[in-house]
Amino acid sequence: MSRISRRQFLQNSSIAGAGFWIAGRQTGYGQEKSPNAKLNIAMLASGGRGAANLKEVGGENIVALCDVNAKNVDSAAKVHPNAKKYSDFRKVYDDAKDFDAVVVSTCEHTHAFATLPALQLGKHVYCEKPLTHGVWEARVIQEAAKKAKVATQMGTQMHASENYRRIVELVQSGVAGPIRECHVWVERTWGRQSPEDAAAYNDIVSTQERPTEEMTPPPTLDWDLWLGPAPYRPFNTVYFPGPKWYRWWDFGSGTMSDLGSHSNDLPFWALKLDHPKTIEGFGPPPHPEIAPASFRAVYEYGQRGDLPPVKLTWYQGQERPPGLKDGTIPAAYKSGCLFVGDKASIVGNYSKHQVLPEDKFKEYKYTGDPIPKSLGHWAEWIHAAKTDLKTTCNFGYSGPLTEANHLASIAYRLGKKLEWDPVNLKCTNAPEADRLLHREYRKGWELKG
């Protein structure tokens, strides 16, 4: 199968089998409308994260409910009985005139396919994290969003929290001095590991290889649509329901792209990170199909304006930062982020933070200008769609974050320190990375020019 370039794709893009074409940008929700007017929203996935997102945007007009599992659509329709029902999100776009915005909550491997046509049609998009299943897809979505000039937001809900704002203020205040080192760790230990470790770390499923048993899908589930662009495989309960699927490379990228969207968001924001220069991954021998429960990745970022180069290390599962072992990081931070500066360190997580060493900075109070309070992650997107299009996790910000997370998984899978060229989307020292940067799609789902 021949590959296409991003340029070719963006010049004339369509989705095979989607039943629509794009002939120039069509206008979505006009900015001349009152902020008090309601958006017409299509929900692309209505169960799982889709159900949670639906509760958050349900005050708008929900005009379309889509899910590959009819049970989820029927459940959502009890609250929104006037919405049209769909099983295939591609068919939703046949009725694009009916809606102004979409909320994409499908599985990771179909995010790009659900999001791209909305951008091409000039629709506002809220997409669950991670933004896409791979690096090339993330760049395609960023460039399409730039052209579309619509309100976009990735579902990194912690970005709207007050605690994250306080941490960013501290880091950027200079109280710790220049930050040259950062550590991010998550306690979750899901993925390929021994049955004993899976039990010990409360994994939601234990599997070490692809199952050979073929099971019958639930009667309400369209398994072929669920697979979408991924290679066909028989149904099995090790994949479904979610989030079991996210450990399989064909459908997700493990904990890194999932929780990394939240946890790496903090240093990305506070340190104004962009594209790493190098990425290296460490862990158990990589499996061709399943992401690891535990692994570590090291990024090297160059200077950004007056900010010095910084090394960021990611730890998940049984991998832990040295500070948790020697006690320099308080034990209460089971998951968290440590910014190491020339004068002090700052540690934080979703709910708390402090400057270290604690005895020296116990009385310290930040007195600078506060980062404005968020309207709320979903409310921010809705307001932007009706007014100025400005959100804090727009695809221009969350796209590079998504790319960086995926690059760590690629470095781990290849067992090689990657040198990254963000302009040409190439690992300059590893041509073998190309197949992981841009996956092949099942027939009928290729993104093609």
Give residue for tokens 């708390």: 352
pLDDT at 12: 37
Q: Which two tokens stand for residue 273?
A: 């990170």
The pLDDT value recorded for residue 35 is 72
214, pLDDT greater than 80: yes
Residues 114/106, Cβ–Cβ less than 8 Å: yes
Cα(379)–Cα(282) distance, rounded to whole angstroms?
Answer: 39
Beta bridge partners of 64: 42, 84
Q: For 265-271, what is the mean pLDDT?
A: 98
Contact 347, 337 (CB under 8 A): yes
Q: What is the pLDDT of residues 427-448, one digit of tens each?
A: 999 999 999 999 999 999 977 5
Over the chain, what is the mean pLDDT? 92
The percentage of residues in the chain with a pLDDT greater than 70, rounded to a whole number, is 92
Q: Residue 9 pLDDT more than 90?
A: no
Q: Does the pLDDT value for residue 29 go beyond 60? A: no
Instruction: Give tens-digit pLDDT for 35-86.
Output: 779 999 999 999 999 999 999 999 999 999 999 999 999 999 999 999 999 9
Q: What pLDDT is attached to residue 174?
A: 97
Task: Assess whether pLDDT exceeds 90 at residue 415.
Answer: yes
Residue 34 confidence (pLDDT): 67
Write down the residue that tokens 């809220």 correspond to: 126
Residue 328: pLDDT band with limits 50, 70, 90: very high
pLDDT of residue 188: 97
